[in-house]
Structure 1
Amino acid sequence: MASHDFKVKKTEAQWREELTPEQYYVCREKGTERPGTGQYDQFFKEGEYHCVACGEKLFESQSKFDAGCGWPSFDAPAVAENITENHDNSHGMIRTEVVCSGCGAHLGHLFPDGPTDTGMRYCINSVSIDFSAEEN
């Protein structure tokens, strides 16, 4: 993980025990789910999205949009301090990796091509987030 002092610290054995194999692959090994396969790609209910690994609040449904890219996309984090951005030049590309500030879980990547006034597209793996419906 990036050099950051995360609030939640666990051993890799603890992470393996708590996360599903796919969650571990994405969140701890910086993997990516296949496009169009995530449960939150075409999901537009009102509520909040939290880190699957530590519960940190990451995004709100109001910032979600359909980017047509195959992954859930948001134009801004719910709480800026809950997202850490890291330089990522893996796979021959220059990108900005997005991780949870609470535990360092890999969430996805940030691209400056969003259609809203922020101009940002947080492209997030469904397996790295949990949704909680808005209470009425």
Structure 2
Amino acid sequence: MSSAIGKPKVEKSDAEWREQLSPEEYQVLRQAGTERPFTGEYDETFTEGVYHCRACDAELFRSETKFASHCGWPSFYAPSGDDNVILREDSSMGMRRVEVLCGTCHSHLGHVFEGEGYGTPTDQRYCMNSVSLRLEPKA
């Protein structure tokens, strides 16, 4: 888990982020919010392709690692590259979790959980907010 987070590769002012993102996108990506379960566009989507950060367009996940967790949010068992995401401890809301941030712009994507018995190759569930992602379908 990354504890020392360097400067983002994409930096924008708060006003620039607000201008670029919808109110819901801003609340999740820049204020670490969470969309309601079972409401996101990618929850039950299994189209082949690449998932990008909705804020900066960096590649995050590939459809090959997406699985049906039935938890209400899109789930992946691994990012597409080690540097594509940053993990940091999150003790908000009276819980101890691991937050997942975009490795390029440090936007909030969701959380990662381990040891839940899904039988994935990594035994991890990257539980992402659909509003944090943009799917580029395979051509």
With the length of structure 1 as denominator, give the TM-score of the two structures: 0.96
Q: Which residue of 1 aligns with 2:84?
A: 82
Post-superposition offset of 1:79: 1.1
**In 1: Cα distance, 2:90 partner to 2:131 partner:** 20
Q: Which residue of 2 aligns with 1:64?
A: 66
Q: Deviations over 1:11-35 (max 9, x none)?
A: 0000000001000000000000000
Fraction of identical pairs, as percent? 51
1:22-37 correspondence runs (5 A)? 22-37=24-39
Q: Which residue of 2 aligns with 1:21?
A: 23
**In 2: Cα distance, 1:3 partner to 1:76 partner:** 20
With the length of structure 2 as denominator, give the TM-score of the two structures: 0.94
Post-superposition offset of 1:117: 1.8
Q: Which amino acid aligns with 2:74?
A: P
Q: Which amino acid aligns with 1:60?
A: R
**In 2: Cα distance, 1:78 partner to 1:3 partner:** 19
DSSP-derived class of the 2:10 partner: coil
Post-superposition offset of 1:3: 4.5
Q: Which residue of 2 aligns with 1:10?
A: 12
Q: Which residue of 1 aligns with 2:110?
A: 108
DSSP-derived class of the 1:78 partner: coil
Q: Which amino acid aligns with 1:24?
A: Y
Post-superposition offset of 1:125: 0.1
Post-superposition offset of 1:80: 1.3
Report runs of 4+ in structure 1 exceeding 6 Å deviation. none
Q: Alignment length, in residue pairs?
A: 134
Q: Deviations over 1:63-111 (max 9, x none)?
A: 0001010000000000110100010000000000000010010000000
Among candidates 123, 126, 139, match of residue 122 of structure 1: 126
| Aligned-CA RMSD value | 1.0
Choose between structure 1 and 2: higher helix proportion. 1
DSSP-derived class of the 1:41 partner: coil
Post-superposition offset of 1:131: 0.2
Segments of structure 2 that go 5 or more residues without pairing to the other structure are none
**In 2: Cα distance, 1:57 partner to 1:38 partner:** 19
